[in-house]
Structure 1
Amino acid sequence: MSDTPLHSVSVAGVTFDDSGRVLLIRRRDNGEWQAPGGVLELGESLEVGVVREVLEETMVQVQPERITGIYKNLARGIVAIVFRCRPIAGIATPTDESVEVAWFSLAEVVELLNPVFAVRVTDAARYSTYGVQSRSHDGVKILPSRY
């Protein structure tokens, strides 16, 4: 058996409409509000994975525009790659994976989401100023950079 740590890779889509609102889901498994996303399938590109995940969870088809952040949950070994997306078709609708799907203002997102998920949205909103962000967290809070 190898001593190499195991990681999973996930993708998430922070989707902004023309009014600057953000598409969120309330997850069926834990009731938390988050940007739609999930584990990347083997052999699937990052872009295809984020389009698939957003569609599966919201019924909205998106166009990924750019990667805005890379986040690692140090406690669970999950690396999440977050894309800023724009909607191109569909109507936000709950699915087997989401209890609710809705559009929120950035201010509402900051109040509604757990901080480790809210920062993904705020990083996507501020991409043009700060570029791609790299952050680590423990599942609850963002940890200070140690390089």
Structure 2
Amino acid sequence: MSLMELRKVWGSAPLLAVSVGVFIRDEHGRVLLQRRGDDGRWSEPGGALDPGEDFLTGARRELLEETGLTCDDLALLPLPEGLQDGPDLYGRYPNGHEIYVVGRRALGTLPAAALEHAAPDDSGETLELAWFALDALPDLSSNANRRSLSVLRARVGLPPLPLAPTPPPPPLGNHLMDLRKLVGPRPLFSPGANVLVTDDHSRLLLLRHGGTRKWTLPGGGLEPGETFEQTAARELLEETGLTAARLEPLEMYAGPAYRFTYPNGDTVDNVSVLYRAHGVTGDLTPQDGEVLETGWFGVDDLPDDDELSGELIRANVRHWREGQSTQP
């Protein structure tokens, strides 16, 4: 379901907005910004993904809708600088709708003269487009814009932009389950994180999930105001009793390939960051009810694909297996 559809049943309370920010720079190092129709302030082009959409497809669509431009070299920024998440990315629209932005950042280049051919759509989202130097930015619309532009500023040695104060995030609960009570089994974005944990014998930890009865990785869903890394650490502890000294982001997965339908019919569009755990401590203690059993698997004895819990977990396991095959 789209954000607009969710608002009809959820009201104005905070929602996770799975979004992509699009940064276009010209030959002078300036960045393209739009003056927004909702608050009159400036932001990069971008917005919420459509159901089932991947981030790069969403970035291209939003750029075209809000500027009328296309960019051949548009690409997602690498992790971790390409990630959008955390309590600072709270936003409240003039109509009272509250969000926490989570997602990615994309970057591309166009000549300054491309702006002469800009043609935003007639939605009213874009009032004006202009190039700005990174050390002479206008009044920005939100912390999401400030955080993202600080990433670009850091690349040229400029300090981060100050952030506006934000309210404390809601207490941890089960955001996805709360939405399910209102929307039924229809597809919902499910931002979250999974964790690769290995032992001293280079074996991968897998968990047999109580709901699907298939093998999965430690991990789960992100709550409003959490970072992906905080989600990974929390879920690792809850499901296994283990703690990591450091979590290294490896890859982010989103798009139609990672849609998953649970046995009860509930459907999610997974938007997931894969982490590798370093410095793992604690006693392996499976979470009662959610984890039926645990297992350590080497490259040659991994479960078959049909025993793994969906394409997201299969992709995560492939990432680990391919990494093992390239090690000396």
* Shared fold per TM-score greater than 0.5: yes
1:61 corresponds to 2:246: no
Contact 1:13 1:64 in 2 (8 A): no
* TM-score, normalisation: structure 1: 0.73
Tell me, in whole angstroms, the C-alpha distance in 1 between the residues paired with 2:236 and 2:251.
17
1:15 corresponds to 2:208: no
5+ residue gaps, structure 2, are 6-49, 52-187, 260-267
Cα RMSD (Å): 2.7
Equivalences, count: 130
Contact 2:229 2:247 in 1 (8 A): no
Determine the structure 2 residue equivalent to 1:134. Answer: none
Deviation at 1:107, TM superposition (A): 2.3
Tell me, in whole angstroms, the C-alpha distance in 2 between the residues paired with 1:98 and 1:128.
26
Determine the structure 2 residue equivalent to 1:124. Answer: 320
**1 or 2, which has the higher strand percentage?**
1
Distance 1:86 1:106, change over 3 A: farther
Deviation at 1:118, TM superposition (A): 2.9
CA displacement, residues 14-46 of structure 1 (integer Å, 9 cap, x when unaligned): 112222111111111111111111001111112
- Written as runs of structure 1 = structure 2, the 5 A alignment for 1:1-147 is 2=4, 5=51, 7-72=189-254, 74=256, 75=259, 76-96=268-288, 97-111=290-304, 112-113=307-308, 116=311, 117-127=313-323
Determine the structure 2 residue equivalent to 1:139. Answer: none
Deviation at 1:123, TM superposition (A): 0.8
The alignment-based identity, stated in percent, is 28
Deviation at 1:108, TM superposition (A): 2.1
Deviation at 1:122, TM superposition (A): 2.7
Contact 1:92 1:102 in 2 (8 A): no
Q: 1:2 aligns to what SS in structure 2? A: helix
Q: Which has the larger radius of gyration?
A: 2
Q: 1:93 aligns to what SS in structure 2? A: coil
Tell me, in whole angstroms, the C-alpha distance in 1 between the residues paired with 2:310 and 2:287.
25
Contact 1:10 1:79 in 2 (8 A): yes
Distance 1:115 1:87, change over 3 A: farther
CA displacement, residues 98-141 of structure 1 (integer Å, 9 cap, x when unaligned): 111222112222535357223312313545999xxxxxxxxxxx
Determine the structure 2 residue equivalent to 1:138. Answer: none
Tell me, in whole angstroms, the C-alpha distance in 2 between the residues paired with 1:128 and 1:24.
16
Range 14-23 or range 102-111, more displaced: 102-111
Q: 1:19 aligns to what SS in structure 2? A: coil
Tell me, in whole angstroms, the C-alpha distance in 1 between the residues paired with 2:280 and 2:240.
13
Distance 1:72 1:105, change over 3 A: same
Q: 1:26 aligns to what SS in structure 2? A: strand
* TM-score, normalisation: structure 2: 0.35
